[in-house]
Chains A and B, each alone.
Chain A
Amino acid sequence: MTIPLSLQFINLLAALLLLIAFAMLAQRRILSLINLFAWQGAVLALSTFVVAYTTSQHHLYYSAALTLLLKVMVLPWLLHRLIHRLNVRWDVETLLNIPTTMLAGLALVIFAFNLAAPISQLAQGITRGLIGIALASVMLSLLMMLTRRKAVSQVVAFLSLENGLFFAATSATQGMPLVVELGIALDVLVATFIFGIFFFQIRETFESLDITHMEKLKDD
């Protein structure tokens, strides 16, 4: 049985998505992290477009355009502006044990594939196996949120988590209803604005964007 070209292409994009998730996990520099996030958005938009083309679902074209606009242009632009104004453009995270993080990431991918296995069995056509990859990139973003100590990289991790979920929605279910997708996009946009406000408030109060300063509230 030959696999149709479009499906091969989507699988390739899915693999790229996972690869970028790993690259983000290992990236110490904040500027590069944001660029990687923009690339992830581009891959996502492209894969949505391909799914739209092969299944001729018109609302997915809108969804692809929305992804392109929001995740590749608006959000990275906002983040670039923010790190420029906050003067953390060249910041490097020091407390990061990359080999251990990568190994943990690997374990998470295996876990995600196992978790998604019974669902992949049910999926027909182009969706097979993609849920596993989507879940794996969601888990990798979660791991990234846990390991990061800088507020900006935590937010990038949060946004890339959203990317993984979006990939799950478009590839596994051929897209959520448009009204839901619009709502989610609006939420993500507003969240990014609020994160921006937070960066300034945090820096003003703690004179740094390290969240290690913010571990005072505990039950002892």
Chain B
Amino acid sequence: MIDLQLMALLLIPLFGGGMLAVFGSRSWAAELNSLMSGLTFLASVALTMRVIDSGPQVVFGEQFFIDQFNVFLVALTAFVAFTTSLFSRPYMRIEQHHGKLSTGMLHLYYSMYQMFTFTMLVALTTNNMGIIWVAMEAATLTTVLLVSLYRTPSSLEAAWKYFILCGVGIALALFGTILLYFAAERVLGEGGTALLWTHLNQVKGELEPTVLKLAFIFLLVGYGTKIGLVPLHSWLPDAHAEGPTPVSAVLSGLLLNVALCAVMRSKVLVDGSLKTHFAGNLMMGFGLLSVVVAALFLSRQKDIKRMFAYSSIEHMGLITFAFGMGGPVANFAGMLHMTMHSLTKSAIFFAVGHAAQKAGTQQMERIRGLLQVSPTVGWGLALGTFAILGMPPFGVFASEFLIITTAMHEYPWTTPILLAALGIAFAAIFGKIQPIVFGETTAKPLPHPPALIPVFVHLLLVLILGLYMPPYLANWYRQAAALLG
């Protein structure tokens, strides 16, 4: 039964990618794209309910593995991919109307969008550490042409940087995977099973610690490039600022999470082998550095999408830090923050996309007074900003609060650093967004009505989760947090 649901989950986007590769230029391609993403989301819901009922299981000759942790990311990925496809329908039509995109470019966009979803879902559900690598690289390949979709000099530069830096990063992760296999082969013997995570997890105590230590460094640096951890982050702001907004939303809200999931899978193995806090310390270091550096860069940004890209680096740093601390509470907080960040950040990108379309620029000093021309876009952006800055009662507050109180308990010296960074980020973002939302306007009306339902759906979810977490969900997250050790 579960193999049926998993098959649906993986085959729908693959089939959708194929369909859109053929029919991507038709006038109904956007609807088909949303339909496929919607079906994928339904499959993910079915799979999630199944896994929460009956616990972790391996599927298809052990090639796939689903537990409470990755199914949480599967559900989140499918949901945000679905809402982003709803948002992208009017957004991309407006871009086409403005003459920025041709039908051919939209064709490429729709088919790659589905393929990108497919690669992320494979990376999340596979049991094979080698296939995780293959799927992560494939995720880069499907998005790189989307980053350069506008064919402007700066978008080409951003895409080239993204391709080269993530290519190098991911190559280092492959070396880490090879080292892991090298250690595993000595325990599990040769052949296909030595890269299967479930097998590795059973024998993690016997894996050679020196090799695993080196392997983890390579894996963290490699996948960390994808997460956008400082100092490997320099592709991220460029790619987010220059690519089309729906792509920024899924890169920021989803791809970074998937890369972090790969790191967490490795961390569980390394912790089991080393029996020290080596992996956690490394992640805490990278996480803390990312939070601080991103917060400092925030105030220097002029481009609105670039600024929120730096905010993504900051939040991914915070999540990495939380997972680095480890333990049930910090892991729970990390997962909660992952959820909140994905929902909020994609909502912000939706609102920012329409705001930039109205103003005709992404330069913040030239976007003014959104509330006057379009209250929905203005409020979407304002509320999204409040949410991401961790204002109560939004859910981001709850998860950040949990992370900081845990840090205060376990590593008190990090608390002032984290609080200072969050304060700086608050001042920077709030100061820049305030005149954009309020004040006199220069914006023009749009040729198509914008799609803001996804924005408010996301923000409503973040609000509800901030006020009340259903026991079902809390229980699920608690189980998943326990799996991470």
Contact = CB atoms under 8 A, between A and B. Distances in A.
A122 B141 contact: no
Contacts of A191: 137, 141, 163, 167
Interface in A172-203: 172-174, 176-180, 183-184, 186-187, 190-191, 194-195, 197-198, 201-202
A174 B210 CA distance: 20
A179 B156 contact: no
A167 to B, nearest CB: 10
Nearest to A118: B210
A165 B175 contact: yes
A198 B168 contact: no
Interface in A144-169: 145, 151, 154, 158, 161-162, 165, 168-169
B160 A151 contact: yes
Interface residues of chain B: helix, strand, loop or mixed (majority): helix
Contact of B153 (A151, A154, A206): A206
B363 to A, nearest CB: 14
A173 B208 CA distance: 14
A172 B141 contact: no
Given A119-B214, A180-B134, A183-B134, A217 B181 contact: no
Nearest to A215: B157
Interface in B71-122: none
B178 A172 contact: yes
Interface residues of B, number: 50
Interface stretch (B185-193, B270-278, B319-327): B185-193
A180 B130 CA distance: 6
Given A122-B210, A217-B161, A177 B145 contact: no
Contacts of A214: 153, 156-157, 160-161
A220 B241 CA distance: 15
Closest CB pairs A-B (n = 8): A180-B130, A183-B134, A214-B157, A177-B192, A187-B137, A173-B182, A118-B210, A217-B238
Most interface-central of A154, A180, A198 (chain B CB within 10 A): A180
A19 B313 CA distance: 40
A115 B186 CA distance: 20
B190 A122 contact: no
Contacts of A201: 148, 151, 156
Interface of B: 128, 130-131, 133-134, 137-138, 141, 144-145, 148, 151-154, 156-161, 163-164, 167-168, 171, 174-175, 178-179, 181-182, 185-186, 190-192, 194-195, 208, 210-211, 214, 237-238, 241-242, 297, 300-301
B331 to A, nearest CB: 29
Interface of A: 57, 115, 118-119, 122-123, 131, 135, 138, 142, 145, 151, 154, 158, 161-162, 165, 168-169, 172-174, 176-180, 183-184, 186-187, 190-191, 194-195, 197-198, 201-202, 205-206, 211, 213-217, 219-220
Nearest to B134: A183
Nearest to B210: A118
Contact of A180 (B128, B157, B241): B128
A194 B156 contact: no
Nearest to B145: A194
A2 to B, nearest CB: 26
Contacts of B208: 122
Given A145-B164, A202-B156, A173 B237 contact: no
A198 B154 contact: no
A168 B157 contact: no
A205 B156 contact: yes
A60 to B, nearest CB: 11
Contacts of B159: 198
A94 to B, nearest CB: 21
B214 A184 contact: no
A201 B160 CA distance: 11
Contacts of A165: 171, 174-175, 178
Nearest to A186: B134
Contacts of A213: 153
Contacts of B186: 122
Nearest to B193: A177
A173 B178 contact: yes
A219 to B, nearest CB: 6
Contacts of B195: 176-177, 180
B141 A190 contact: yes
A205 B163 contact: no
Given A161-B168, A194-B163, 12 more contacts: A118-B211, A119-B211, A135-B175, A138-B171, A142-B168, A165-B175, A169-B181, A172-B182, A173-B185, A177-B192, A187-B141, A206-B156
23 contacts: A123-B182, A135-B175, A138-B171, A142-B168, A158-B167, A158-B168, A162-B171, A168-B178, A173-B181, A174-B190, A176-B181, A177-B195, A180-B131, A184-B133, A191-B137, A201-B156, A202-B156, A214-B153, A214-B156, A214-B157, A214-B160, A214-B161, A217-B241
B300 A219 contact: yes
Contacts of B210: 118-119, 122
Contacts of B190: 57, 174
A197 B192 contact: no
B183 to A, nearest CB: 8
B138 A187 contact: yes
Nearest to B137: A187
A119 to B, nearest CB: 6
A104 B185 CA distance: 34
B151 A219 contact: no
Contacts of A184: 130, 133-134, 137, 174
B313 to A, nearest CB: 12
B158 to A, nearest CB: 6
A220 B388 CA distance: 25
Contact of A179 (B128, B157, B211, B297): B128
Nearest to A177: B192
B153 A216 contact: yes
